[in-house]
Chains A and B, each alone.
Chain A
Amino acid sequence: MTGAAALQRWWPWVPLLVLVLLPVGIRETFYLDLLMTTFMYAAITLGWDIMGGYAGYVSLGTVGFYGLGSYAGALLLLRFNIPVFVSAPFIGVLCSLVGAGLGWIALRTRAAAFVIVTLTFTSIVQLLALNLKGLTNGSSGLYMPLLTLPNNLILLPFYYYMLALLVFAYFVSRAIRGSKFGLGLIAIREEEEKAEGLGVDTSLYKILAFAISVFFACVAGALRAQYLNYVDPDIAFDLFITLSPIVMALVGGRGTLIGPLLGAFLVQPLSQYLVFLLPSSVAGQLHLVALGVVLLLVVLFMPDGIVNAYRSARAGGSGWRGRRQTAPPAEAAP
């Protein structure tokens, strides 16, 4: 293997190595917390993009699954004494099953039903969390016992767990992108009827994609609840969990592998900085406004995101979203 080829092959592992070693050098909770939150958003965004980017179906229900994960993690801990670090992956699988059921309802038809169902799903789960008081303690929320770790180390397991979730999300997304399944999802985005006419079971593909895509939000929700040692309907159903990944995927570039990563690592630190700058009484509200404005601007002026814009600029062509091959101009018809 030549040096250049080795570089090509191994460079993705360099940032990962840096992220793994960072906590050795950086001890400030603020930065580690920021990084952990960024990992979380990056994983959720990669998941969202499997449905929103590859298949082109926008879900507005991300936080519904996140909240479901939060409560599931808390309840399994409080009722059955199962640590969240153990239960989280299983909770993710459970959420995928819920996602498949939801997909079965919404995805046999076209996009409008999917938007409506995912949007109301969040309200349904939130309503359940609020009203099933015997189980969830209603709006008072559930307190979870602290991990028994020294104060300065308490963040680390969450840091590495979220990083692992992110790495897993990356490899899942990459495997899908290169597979026949992923090609089918992109076919659905481009010409759904045509894909169906070529034998692709579009409903099955979409349901499967949605089931996979919600896994990450769910696991993240479970971990986050334990990190905060607390869950209530406001925290578990925080609008930012739905909003931020959408903004991140759009800014970075939908339907690409790097786009959601880039978007998360760009938007989340900037968001935190903005919140830091604003007076705390209106910080949350203006943060919403800022993300809303960015979303509108991206939708209007750069709907393909940074990665795709860069690629098509470099290819000089009109190709969009997730091109790997460059496209030379067509030859004249023979």
Chain B
Amino acid sequence: MNGQLLAQSLVLGILTGGLYGLTSVGLSLIFGIMRIINIAHAALIVLGSYLALALFRSFGLDPLLSILLLIPFFLLLGGAIQWGILDKLSSKDLTLTVLATFGVAIIVEGLQGAIWSSTYVSIRTPYSLSSVQVAGLYIPVVRVMAGLASFVLLAAVFVLLYRTNLGRAIRATTQNRTAAQLVGVHAGFVTTVAFAAGLAMAGAAGPLLGMLYSFYPATHWLLIGKLLAIVVLGGLGSLTGTFAAALVLGVAEQVAGVTLPLEWGPMLFYVLLFGTLIVRPQGFFGAVRRGSL
């Protein structure tokens, strides 16, 4: 591998890593505050892709702009799922919450198939095939856009979490629900907000992923595996850890893509997931916390 190729992989990897970060940080946030593994996370990302495609085809709305519509839609959807389903279940019983989110994933997948059929589609914009040249590297425009948009959205989420009172309340509830309630945090409301925010991140990532890769209703199974690998590697529930793991895996996938046949890419995630669980179940980047798994 020459220097040029390595530099190219690094840049692409960081851009993809940003996208992985956007999707997996939401998943990690939801696990952290609710102890729920949101199996439906990737299915909802794919739903975001389909909605952006529909908006693009019907109204010519640019996928990047559709994010602005998708965020409020997924906030509401998240609120509805939390209020209508998850809140009704005992959060202590991981069995039932997992089955519930599994059920949601199935329903979303089935509806997508019924409405948009089960064939591969992708979002092809006029600039889909153009590239930009930076320091001698050719980077496809859509990858730059997806990467930058992800970083901007992630930055917004981290500002929300670390610079606002609501964010403090979310982090406090994540650390210790009872203690947070004792100091006056409305844990139920905060939980709903966090879940909705996690889904909004998923929804926003939909158009971005849809611009990069083709998709069909069942692609979410491969994606949720990748995201869970990132989250476990980063330390379940640790947001900064998840973000770091997303960047590392983004780059690793690109580098592996140069050296390995393309179809083996996802295997990298699974090998790292299993390796992590064997060697260090609490993850590599997150704070070491008892019972995080």
Contact B85 A109 (CB under 8 A): no
Residues in A neighbouring B232, C-beta threshold 8 A: 113, 116
**Quick one: which of B171-189 are within 8 Å of A by CB?**
none
A296 to chain B: closest residue by CB: B103
- Say whether, besides A123-B270, A124-B267, A116 and B110 are in contact (CB < 8 Å): no
Contact partner of A295 (CB less than 8 A), chosen from B103, B109, B261, B264, is B103
Contact partner of B277 (CB less than 8 A), chosen from A117, A127, A130, A293, is A117
**Quick one: which of A268-306 are within 8 Å of B by CB?**
282, 284-293, 295-296, 299-300, 303
Residues in B neighbouring A127, C-beta threshold 8 A: 263-264, 266-267, 270
A75 within 8 A of B: no
How far is B101's CA from A180's CA once the two chains are assembled, in angstroms? 33
Contact B37 A115 (CB under 8 A): yes
Residues in B neighbouring A295, C-beta threshold 8 A: 99-100, 102-103, 106
Residues in A neighbouring B91, C-beta threshold 8 A: none
Residues in B neighbouring A131, C-beta threshold 8 A: 261, 263-264
- Say whether, besides A110-B291, A113-B281, A246 and B273 are in contact (CB < 8 Å): no
A189 to chain B: closest residue by CB: B95
Contact A299 B113 (CB under 8 A): no
A113 to chain B: closest residue by CB: B293
Contact A110 B100 (CB under 8 A): no
Residues in A neighbouring B35, C-beta threshold 8 A: 112
A29 within 8 A of B: no
B274 within 8 A of A: yes
Number of A-B contacts defined by CB within 8 Å: 131
B197 within 8 A of A: no
B5 within 8 A of A: no
A57 to chain B: closest residue by CB: B95
A122 within 8 A of B: yes
How far is B39's CA from A291's CA once the two chains are assembled, in angstroms? 16
Contact A296 B277 (CB under 8 A): no
A135 within 8 A of B: no
Contact B94 A112 (CB under 8 A): yes
26 contacts between A and B (CB under 8 A): A56-B95, A58-B94, A60-B98, A109-B281, A110-B293, A112-B236, A124-B267, A124-B270, A127-B264, A239-B106, A239-B109, A239-B221, A246-B99, A250-B99, A285-B113, A285-B114, A285-B118, A288-B109, A292-B103, A292-B105, A292-B107, A292-B110, A295-B99, A296-B107, A299-B89, A300-B100
CB within 8 Å of A: which residues of B?
A: 31, 35, 37, 39, 85, 88-89, 94-96, 98-100, 102-107, 109-111, 113-114, 118, 217-218, 221-222, 224-225, 228-229, 232, 236, 261, 263-264, 266-267, 270, 273-274, 277-278, 281, 291, 293
